[in-house]
Amino acid sequence: MKNKYGQLSTLVYETDKPVGVSFGDVAYYLERLRDVNGPILEPGVGNGRFLVPLLQANKTVVGYDASAHMLEVARSTLQQHQLTAELVQSDFASYQSAPRFDAIVIPAGTFQLIDSFETACTVLGNFYQQLNVGGRLMLDLDAAQAIFTSQPSMRKWQVGGGSIVTLSSTPLNVDYANQVSTELHRYELWENGQLQRTELEEFVLRWWSPSEISMALQLAGFTNVVVSGGYEYGRAPQSSDELISVEGTKN
């Protein structure tokens, strides 16, 4: 049930964060990738929100995601935009590839869905192996306050006709020792006032400090590690930043 992105959560994601929506990440990463001509890997590709701009910038992209529902939306999105990319169903730890990529990019804090420090370090090592020499890993992370200060909430989205999807979020636990926050997400689909479907999901995120993620990349073998605040490359993160971006190079 953990971080599954089922049918209703995928519907919410597509409604709330469709292609064309940016949090500052799209322009930032397109600029960072401007001189990358070889293949790019996007783990956790989701609904294609960032994939489509990459392809429209004439990049060659491979994407993977653990959610079959998300990949179904991504494939439909590519078809609508008359674009093509290799899409694979896989989670972070299972995806394997020989060195073939010139960049690996993970926007939107997706890397934090890996809630185990040990697993995350293994995945970073896999990323290093999957990059060509000179290739770069780029990812961003939500700041700690965005994870540890969540409150019970309810949101709703109109999803067509008389249908509405509601999302109730309830904080369950904050494990400060392991830097992990867990919420219970309850998705409900309503049609003409009648409840049609319910999905429950444990939503788990891990917080990384700037120094910790920098050391983790270095332990995986990356050099020239740069941790930046607010999508301003090279600016040291500040406590007021809502996110940090991290970049490292395989030499």
Q: Which letter, b or e, does each residue of 79-88 get, where b requires 16 or more Cβ atoms within 10 Å of its Cβ?
A: eeeeeebebe
Domain ranges of the chain: 7-142+208-249, 145-205
Q: Which pLDDT score is estimated for 149?
A: 78
Whether CATH 2.20.25 fits 145-205: yes
The 10s digit of each residue's pLDDT in 3-62 is 889 999 999 999 999 998 999 999 999 999 999 999 999 999 999 999 999 999 999 999
Task: Give the span between the Cα atoms of 101 and 103, in whole angstroms.
Answer: 5
pLDDT band at 188 (very low <50, low <70, confident <90, very high): very high
Q: What is the dihedral of CA 53, 59, 62, 66, to 10 degrees?
A: -20
Assign domain 7-142+208-249 to its CATH architecture: 3-Layer(aba) Sandwich (3.40)
pLDDT at 1 over 70: no
pLDDT at 146 over 80: no
103 in Cβ contact with 36 (< 8 Å): yes
